[in-house]
A and B are shown apart, each in its own frame.
Chain A
Amino acid sequence: MLNQNLKLNTKVFDADVEQVPIRKGFGEGLLMAGEEDKNIVGLCADLTESTQMHFFANKFPERFIQVGVAEQNIVTVAAGMSAMGKFPFTSSYAMFSPGRNWEQIRTTVCYNDTPIVIVGSHAGVSVGPDGGTHQAIEDMALMRILPRMIVLSPCDVIEAKKATLAIAKLKQPCYLRLAREKSPIITTLDTPFEIGKAQIFYQSEKPAVVGIIACGALVHNALKAAQDLEKEGIAVKVMNVATIKPLDVNAIIDLAKETSALVTVEEHQIAGGLGSAISEVLSTNHPTLIEYIGVHDEFGQSGAPAELIEHYGMGVSHIISAVKTVLDKKKTF
Chain B
Amino acid sequence: MSLTDEQVKDFQLKANDIRISIIEMLAAAKSGHSAGPLGMADVFTYLYFHALKHDPKNPTWVERDRFILSNGHICPVYYATLAHSGYFPVEELLTLRKLGTRLQGHPHREWLPVVETSSGPLGCGLSQACGMALAERMDNGVTSKKKFYTFMGDGELQEGNIWEAVMLAGKYKLHNMVGVVDYNNIQIEGYLDDVMPLSPMKEKWESFNWHVIEVDGHDFRALDTAFEQAKTVFEKPTVILARTIPGKGVSFMEGNYKWHGNPPGITDVTGAPPKAEQVAIALADLNKIKETLQ
Which of A67, A68, A85, A103 sits near B135, CB closer than 8 Å?
A: A85
Known: A107-B121, A108-B128, A111-B118. A81 touches B134 (CB 8 A): yes
Q: Tell me whether B168 and A83 are in contact (CB under 8 A).
A: no
**How far does the alpha carbon of A211 sit from the alpha carbon of B54 in the complex, in Å?**
59
Which of B121, B128, B131, B164 sits near A70, CB closer than 8 Å?
A: B164
**How far does the alpha carbon of A33 sit from the alpha carbon of B172 in the complex, in Å?**
25
Any chain A CB within 8 A of the CB of B124?
Answer: yes
Q: Tell me whether A113 and B130 are in contact (CB under 8 A).
A: no
| Residues from 97 to 111 in B contacting A, C-beta threshold 8 Å | 108-110
Q: Tell me whether B132 and A80 are in contact (CB under 8 A).
A: yes
**How far does the alpha carbon of A98 sit from the alpha carbon of B116 in the complex, in Å?**
24
Any chain A CB within 8 A of the CB of B120?
Answer: yes
Q: Tell me whether B117 and A112 are in contact (CB under 8 A).
A: yes
Q: Tell me whether B164 and A83 are in contact (CB under 8 A).
A: no
List the B residue with the shortest CB-CB distance to A104: B124
Interface mask (B84-127 → A, CB under 8 Å = 1, otherwise 0)? 00000000000000000000000011100000111111011001
Any chain A CB within 8 A of the CB of B129?
Answer: yes
B160 neighbours in A (Cβ, 8 Å): 72
Known: A76-B131, A79-B131, A82-B131. A107 touches B120 (CB 8 A): yes
Interface mask (A75-89 → B, CB under 8 Å = 1, otherwise 0)? 011111111111010
Q: Tell me whether A84 and B164 are in contact (CB under 8 A).
A: no
Which of A62, A81, A88, A107 sits near B124, CB closer than 8 Å?
A: A107
CB distance from A216 to the nearest CB of B (A): 30
**How far does the alpha carbon of A190 sit from the alpha carbon of B136 in the complex, in Å?**
39
Any chain A CB within 8 A of the CB of B69?
Answer: no
| Residues from 49 to 88 in A contacting B, C-beta threshold 8 Å | 62-63, 65, 67-68, 70, 72-73, 76-86, 88
Any chain A CB within 8 A of the CB of B167?
Answer: yes
Q: Tell me whether A108 and B132 are in contact (CB under 8 A).
A: no
Contact residues of B: prevailing secondary structure: helix
Q: Tell me whether A80 and B128 are in contact (CB under 8 A).
A: yes
A83 neighbours in B (Cβ, 8 Å): 116-117, 128, 131-132, 135
Chain B, interface residues (CB within 8 Å), range? 20 to 34
Which of A41, A70, A84, A113 sits near B132, CB closer than 8 Å?
A: A84
CB distance from B105 to the nearest CB of A (A): 13
**How far does the alpha carbon of A248 sit from the alpha carbon of B121 in the complex, in Å?**
34
List the B residue with the shortest CB-CB distance to A62: B138
Known: A76-B161, A112-B110. A103 touches B121 (CB 8 A): yes
Q: Tell me whether B138 and A72 are in contact (CB under 8 A).
A: no
B215 neighbours in A (Cβ, 8 Å): none
Q: Tell me whether A77 and B121 are in contact (CB under 8 A).
A: no
Most chain A CB within 10 A, of B121, B123, B135, B138, is at B135
Q: Tell me whether A80 and B135 are in contact (CB under 8 A).
A: yes
**How far does the alpha carbon of A80 sit from the alpha carbon of B131 in the complex, in Å?**
4
Q: Tell me whether B138 and A111 are in contact (CB under 8 A).
A: no
List the A residue with the shortest CB-CB distance to B166: A73
Q: Tell me whether B134 and A76 are in contact (CB under 8 A).
A: no
Q: Tell me whether A73 and B161 are in contact (CB under 8 A).
A: yes
**How far does the alpha carbon of A103 sit from the alpha carbon of B159 in the complex, in Å?**
13
CB distance from A307 to the nearest CB of B (A): 36
Could you list which residues of chain B lie within 8 angstroms of chain A, going by C-beta atoms? 108-110, 116-121, 123-124, 127-136, 138-139, 160-161, 164-165, 167-168, 171-172
